[in-house]
Structure 1
C-alpha cells in the first residue's frame, strides 16, 4: 500500500484532480444546514443578490475542496493534520452544474525542528470551473510523517 511521506512532497510540484460535479440539490442542502442565506437557497433571491444567481456557500466550496484533496492524495499519505489556514479567497460563485477541478502546488517543505518525526508542507490549492475560471484558492501548511525521522537535512 503506497503512502506519501513528507519526503515525497517537493516544492514546485503540481497536480490536478477532478472534475467534480456540483448540483443544485447539494448547494441547497448544504446551505439549509450550515449557511441559510437567501442567495444560497432561493433562485429568485439569489438573482437579486451580489451573486446574480444561485451560488454555493463559500464554506461549501471549502468542503468540496477538502474532499477533493482527500480523494486526490491526502488519504494515501502520512497526514498528521494542519495547524490552520493562512488564506482562503472566494473568487467567483460556484454554480449548479459546475464541474470543478483542483490544482495543487507545493510551495515549500521543511522538516520540523521540534518534532523529528514530521515535516511541514505548505500548499496552494486553486479550484476552477469548467471554463477555467478560478472560483476559490486556499493556502495552508500541513504536517506529514517522515519516512526516516532520523535523517539529516
Structure 2
C-alpha cells in the first residue's frame, strides 16, 4: 500500500499463518533458547503445559503478515520503534494466526515534508480468537521516492 492509502481507523487483516513446531524450535534455538521454547518434554511439565513460541517469534510473524498485507511495494523504509508490546496468551505449534492492523494516525513530518509517519496497532489472534500479540508501531515512508520496490 502507498502511504496515501492509509486512513485513520482503517483495519488491515492478513493471514492465517500456521505456526509449525519445527519453526518454533528453530527460531527459539537460534534466538531465545529458554527451556519452554526448545524442550517439548520439559515444557509439558511447565506452567503452559507444552511448548510455546518465543514472543519475539510472534512479533516476527506479525511483521511477515504486515509486509505481505500492506508494506510490500510501499514507500516504507524504516521504523523508529514500537511504543508497547504485549503477549497476552502464548502461541503454540499448530496455531493459525491472523493479523488485525489498525491505523492510529498518519502525518507528514513538519521538518522533512517528504517523510510520512504512520502509527498503527498490530494485534495477532489465534484460531480461537484469543489475542496473542498487541503492539503499537511507527513506520516511516519516503514520500520523495518515485518508485516502489517489489
Question: Same-fold call, TM > 0.5?
Answer: yes
TM-score, structure 2 normalization: 0.91
C-alpha contact (below 8 Å) 1:6/1:78 kept by paired residues: yes
**Is the counterpart of residue 63 in structure 1 residue 43 in structure 2?**
no
Bigger mean CA offset, 127-136 vs 44-53: 44-53
- 2:148 paired residue number: none
| Paired residues, number | 145
Partner of 2:70: 73
Gaps of 5+ in 2: 146-150
**1:39 alignment partner in structure 2:** 36
Query: What is the CA deviation profile of residues 58-104 of structure 1, one whole-angstrom value per residue up to 9, with x for unaligned ones?
Result: 11111111111111111121102110111110111111100100001
- Compare 28-37 and 4-13 and name the one that shifted more: 4-13
Please report how far the alpha carbon of residue 50 of structure 1 lies from its aligned counterpart in structure 2 after TM superposition.
2.8
Q: In the aligned structure 2, how far is the partner of 1:101 from the partner of 1:81?
A: 23
TM-score normalised by L of structure 1: 0.89
SS at match of 1:115: coil
* 1:80-99 equivalences in 2 (<5 Å): 80-99=77-96
Alignment RMSD: 1.5
The structural deviation recorded for 1:39 is 0.3
SS at match of 1:82: strand
